[in-house]
Amino acid sequence: MSEIRHDWRDAEIAALYELPFNDLLFRAQQVHRAHFDPNRVQVSTLLSIKTGRCPEDCGYCPQSVRYDTGLEDEPLLPVDEVLAQARAARERGASRFCMGAAWRAPRDRDLDQVVEMVRGVKAMGLETCLTLGMLTEAQTARLREAGLDYYNHNLDTSPDFYGEIITTRTYQDRLDTLARVREAGIKVCCGGIVGMGEDRADRIGLLRELANQPQHPESVPINLLVKVEGTPLAEAEDLDPIEFVRTIAVARILMPRSWVRLSAGREAMDDAQQALCFLAGANSIFYGEKLLTTPNPTADRDRALFDRLGLQAV
């Protein structure tokens, strides 16, 4: 039921998607309970440490310099300010502090400040996570020495649909960065975004790529597109909420030991849809009112939902 595999075929994944909804959720629950306490949810907080003016053309991203989204650009934050935000996140119950910078790839001189941030957050007893874009082998080694726990680098979508969303970075570029992170001994946080106009075959292709990596990502964020005015995907058609829940359930079955994070897009979900996602095997969320630059449910709303569902934040 929860065999760890790295050889999933599209037809097998499609068969999971096509199961009756109740059967799919039952199977996902069985897998989830074999590896996790079903009533415990890992809580992370995400902070944008450098905002805007990214040279990439990711069609979903308000931080791209190519799109007019009204976003205010901000340089790399001072270390003290980041550490103050990390302390506040810890006091609100977060166990992992994630820092994101809108770079295609960091410069070595930028990394000096980021290394200080990692060390400071780590000293607070929080797990650390970064997303900085593409990394060199030497940069990856520096981050590992600083004590970085996780590195986030999403695949975003399937290889076939990728060119419809991004042209400034190849799919192989992303896979190469993930390989460097893994080789350095840093845990991988890697998932994708759904609701960008892809079809089910592309969602299957994304999950296949994730599940067939040499080692499953320890953390798998499943994001629902947050449509931002001024980006090419601002008018994308809404994804069926049940299809989103199915995607969570299939991710849980394919990657039994991974933390499956119900990530961006929760602000647009009602409590019932989020509850179905937890039932489908999601066991991680971002906590706090903002995810980099887009809205997220308030901590009070999340605490109220956890209380209603009998969930415990860890």
What gap in Å lies between CA 158 and CA 155, rounded to an integer?
8
Length of the chain as a residue count: 314
- Whether the Cβ atoms of residue 151 and residue 144 lie closer than 8 Å to each other: no
Residue 58 falls in the annotated catalytic set: yes
**Beta carbons of 293 and 71 less than 8 angstroms apart:** yes
Is residue 169 among the annotated active site residues? no
Which position among 54, 142, 174, 180 bears the catalytic label?
54
Assess whether 277 carries a catalytic annotation. no
Q: Which helix (H) or strand (E) holds 239?
A: none
Look up 98 and say whether it is catalytic.
yes
Choose the catalytic residue: 190, 261, 266, 277.
261
190 flagged as catalytic:
no
In the set 27, 174, 180, 189, the catalytic residue is 189
Catalytic residue among 61, 96, 174, 182: 61
Enumerate the active-site residues.
54, 58, 61, 98, 129, 189, 261
